[in-house]
Chains A and B, each alone.
Chain A
């Protein structure tokens, strides 16, 4: 039995708070944690499948043009080689998140250097890899493909454009104004587990083990790519070794494995090499962002301008949503917002860790620091003065807004010094030391979700959904929600995820997983409670369950009478999506040291205070925040994709040369969870967490660099060469 709930109104009943089991919000360790760290949790490529052949993708060595011939004989006689696949259904790009249709197909048309064009299948991985390197391919090259985003006429993303009032006038009249341009380099998701798939056919039925974030969409994408019915397909992603956006849509290896397995009549495994993951999946676009801020003498914004240039391949709809939070972060009645996309032939740009705010907020919050300095106002105070009453563009209320609390509590916990801020005040030996802060914002996303909860006759519970856990803690929080609602210990709840045989969840992405699927589980549990209450002749609201018993001491197993009780919860966000502007908010504080001689920057300490609705598990929530802050250190200091200026290929395509922060770059991070209940965000009053932790943090570091050594930088990442170029002597 399915219970459908479409949420049109905020739910401020806070029912989870009234339950008696007392496990919701508790810092429980991740259920699957031990299996993962002991290597017993199987990842996509690790399923032992008999008679499985190995496929390796062949990638293009031109930027744009056409594959005119592939000489199979060049590899078919090599040891172990079984076949070459160049089926026109092969995908040449990964699908964008929630695309719900096949990504670009037709491997003969080359659109970027490194694009998959064929697959070689052999008995062993090494044989396939060797043969893939030896496959003779001829091309007709289309020279002169543009690869520099600054060198083409960009396209305007009209739905992002805002013209309100007269910004130029406001700038001219302003007591204080800022007009600065920031740049950010491209980023890679850099998940540990490479993209991998094993495909198996049984007649016309296909099973694929893959590393994917959103099975609900992925199955449609795969069905579309293969031109078959979803009913004949099963996708399995029980454990995902990180996705960070790169596994939102299906990527090339999934379709290639399916086609190859069909062609040779054997299971086929395709694992992308680290270099291929970097070069073929998704990049975050580089950005150029102009910020214009006009303020009165009190620092209150009267004008707000944010214009950004990003890039993508021809034919892609995705444009890094740089302005996402800029639309509502600050007031200012005179507004100019515009997002432009340059069509260039670098690999696909798509969702990478907090698309939009991850790079938009660092630029905006850097500019706010410049304004604070110009206006002579403490940066925390400036932010406090500019919290808008409601969405400044949409005439909508905020679902909730904890920014002021985050700012004041964060400043206090960090020991923010409200004194006058002048750069170059503290020096220890070779090191300049300084502090900086920035706001955090990340839109709250929510999606339709289904989950089945079964209260088993033996008194345990089973939660089933095709939702994935990409390392965030989904298994654990779903067990906690069900346990809380049904009065069980979390260890009595078995959570089964990542299999399309189960009811369709929303998938993991855009930080929407917990609130969306958590709501579906909540609805299912509530329906079970209703049935139990009916059996007891009471109401669901009155029903008290704890430690597998009712308040009256009746055992759940007795109530069940030897039978399972199952309900499917179906959550759908209704009018709440349109009636409110919903976002997570927060504040970052950082102390850094900058080496006077070498320009090296190290983060000494960092604190993030975040308000994102209900905390479902204090430990996994904190871990999400720590991960986010760590990424913001990467944005600030180290991460940069480098593209060859001639053919546009990605050059630094491994984890040695693409610099994510290492342990030594990450100090002890402090996280303040500023608890709130946001009934307009979801019926469990929770919002998204994961990404918020990286949306703005880089600016806290950049602003601290300025405060430390006087180098005001406008280009991320702030590597030693850039710091040195800007540091006063």
Chain B
């Protein structure tokens, strides 16, 4: 571990100040950051501990939604009565991630910013454009089973590994951000970025910006499903995951908000997928057609080719579950 300065940020303004420098990072639960620091994948000079800033509350919004503090833990969020009642997809997504011990420590803000699990990213003696711009991508032609099939670039094919954000994307949640230029709010769907030519830029946060909360819109009374396909039944990242918020009116889809994990550098939300379903009665053929749209530009890199058929089949499973749940 490289030596670094540690300070506890006494205020939001000070937290912004402390993290304004390019080599500074905020630390919340530390469950991702500390691991990466030990491996020298992350080498901040300055750590700003934001745990005393507040932002740990979960509270109702005037619009009938829910505001999740960025420092509320994953566990607190998943078990919150309103999350469980009104946003079960979120509760399930969080509980499908990591382990109880990790979730007790992990915060909502940190979860959004967790970094990829690409094996070449976490090994500093291997090439990786994300960690060391210009060094090449070890995963292309390497071990890439976990890697992306959508929105990849020549530079990077990594995935965003998290579960919570996939549910947030389906729910249409917003990320509240505070920095020296003031406050702003960004839809979760726009928060993470594709790798393009700058795979080291993973989200829209500017230096000095801190996530203060996540706002969920008023609940939609509907079927909510989180489906995570993984190699063991717990404590494994998603091969593919699907968050689905579905409403059927007169036997036809009146709402179909789907987001996907494990497919891309961000939780994948493609409005065309929902559009293909709206107004139609559920059927395997319909889901297959919508999947065609979703996977039109999908590209496998050998080891992860299976994700294309797996996504299709997982969608059928979601459909089966949705029809079961509705019945």
State the A residues within 8 Å of B (CB): 61, 79, 126, 129-130, 133, 273, 275, 429-430, 595-600, 602, 637-638, 642-646, 649, 651-652, 656-657, 659, 661-665, 719-721, 724-725
Contacts and interface: CB of A to CB of B under 8 A. Distances in A.
A430 B313 contact: no
A597 B234 contact: no
B123 A651 contact: yes
Contacts of A665: 232-234
B263 to A, nearest CB: 14
B141 interface: yes
B2 interface: yes
B2 A130 contact: yes
B51 interface: no
Interface stretch (B54-62, B75-83, B179-187, B314-322): B314-322
User: From DSSP, what is the main secondary structure of chain A's interface residues?
Assistant: loop
Given A130-B1, A644-B138, A721-B310, 17 more contacts: A130-B40, A597-B314, A598-B313, A599-B313, A602-B233, A646-B142, A651-B123, A651-B142, A657-B117, A661-B232, A662-B232, A662-B233, A720-B306, A720-B310, A721-B306, A724-B309, A725-B306
Interface residues of B, number: 37
B38 A600 contact: no
10 contacts: A130-B3, A595-B317, A597-B314, A600-B229, A600-B233, A642-B119, A651-B123, A661-B232, A719-B231, A720-B239
Contact of A656 (B138, B233, B235, B313): B235
B143 A642 contact: yes
B296 interface: no
B232 A598 contact: no
A56 to B, nearest CB: 11
Nearest to B230: A600
A600 B239 CA distance: 11
B314 A598 contact: yes
B203 interface: no
A598 B234 contact: no
B125 interface: yes
B323 to A, nearest CB: 11
B316 A645 contact: no
Contacts of A720: 229, 231, 239, 306, 310
Nearest to A640: B231
B141 A652 contact: no
A724 B313 contact: yes
Nearest to A603: B233
Interface in B229-280: 229-236, 239
Contacts, number: 98
B324 interface: yes
B116 interface: no
Contacts of A130: 1-3, 40
A721 B239 contact: yes
A649 B122 CA distance: 13
Which 4 A-B residue pairs are closest in the complex by CB-CB distance?
A597-B317, A721-B306, A651-B119, A664-B233
A665 B2 CA distance: 37
Contact of B143 (A79, A596, A644, A659): A644
Contacts of B125: 61
Interface in B172-198: none
A346 B119 CA distance: 17
B310 A724 contact: yes
B157 to A, nearest CB: 15
A597 B3 contact: no
Contacts of B321: 430
Most buried by B among A129, A597, A600, A657: A597
B220 interface: no
B124 interface: yes
Nearest to B307: A721
B213 to A, nearest CB: 28
Contacts of B153: none
A176 to B, nearest CB: 34
Contacts of A651: 119-120, 123, 142-143
A657 B142 contact: no
Contacts of B17: none
Interface in B296-311: 306, 309-310
B141 A646 contact: yes
Interface in B25-77: 38-40
A595 B314 CA distance: 10
A355 to B, nearest CB: 24
A602 B236 CA distance: 14
A60 B236 CA distance: 29
B36 to A, nearest CB: 12
Contacts of A652: 119, 143
B222 interface: no
Given A597-B314, A644-B142, A659 B236 contact: yes
A599 B313 CA distance: 9
A596 B229 CA distance: 12
Given A645-B141, A662-B233, A720-B229, A133 B309 contact: no
Nearest to B120: A651
B284 to A, nearest CB: 11
A638 B142 contact: no
Could you say which of B39, B231, B310, B320 has the most chain A C-beta atoms within 10 Å of its C-beta?
B231
Nearest to B316: A597
> Which of B142, B232, B234 is most buried by chain A, counting CB atoms within 10 A of its CB?
B232
B34 to A, nearest CB: 12
Contacts of A725: 306
Contacts of B239: 720-721
Contacts of B39: 275
A476 B119 CA distance: 42
Interface string B118-161: 01100111100000000000100111010000000000000000
B92 to A, nearest CB: 15
A429 B234 CA distance: 21
Contacts of B117: 656-657
A648 to B, nearest CB: 11
B306 A429 contact: no
Interface in B69-117: 117
A133 B40 contact: yes
B313 A129 contact: no
Contacts of B231: 637-638, 659, 719-720
Contact of A659 (B232, B310, B316): B232
Contacts of B3: 79, 126, 130
Most buried by B among A275, A642, A649: A649
Contacts of B317: 430, 595-598
Contacts of B119: 642, 651-652, 657
A663 B235 CA distance: 10
A79 B230 CA distance: 44
Contacts of B320: 429-430, 597
A607 B294 CA distance: 44
Given A638-B232, A664-B233, A720-B231, A649 B313 contact: no
A130 B4 CA distance: 12
B118 to A, nearest CB: 10
A602 B145 CA distance: 21
B143 A664 contact: no
B28 to A, nearest CB: 19
Contact of A663 (B38, B234, B236): B234
A574 B3 CA distance: 60
Contacts of A719: 231
Nearest to A634: B232
A642 B306 CA distance: 17
A286 to B, nearest CB: 14
Nearest to B306: A721
- Central interface residue in B3, B123, B138, B233, by most chain A CB within 10 Å: B233
B147 to A, nearest CB: 12
B151 to A, nearest CB: 21
**Which of B40, B120, B235, B239: most chain A Cβ within 10 A?**
B235
A460 to B, nearest CB: 41
B142 A664 contact: no
**Max chain B C-beta neighbours (<10 A), residue from A130, A656, A663, A719:** A656
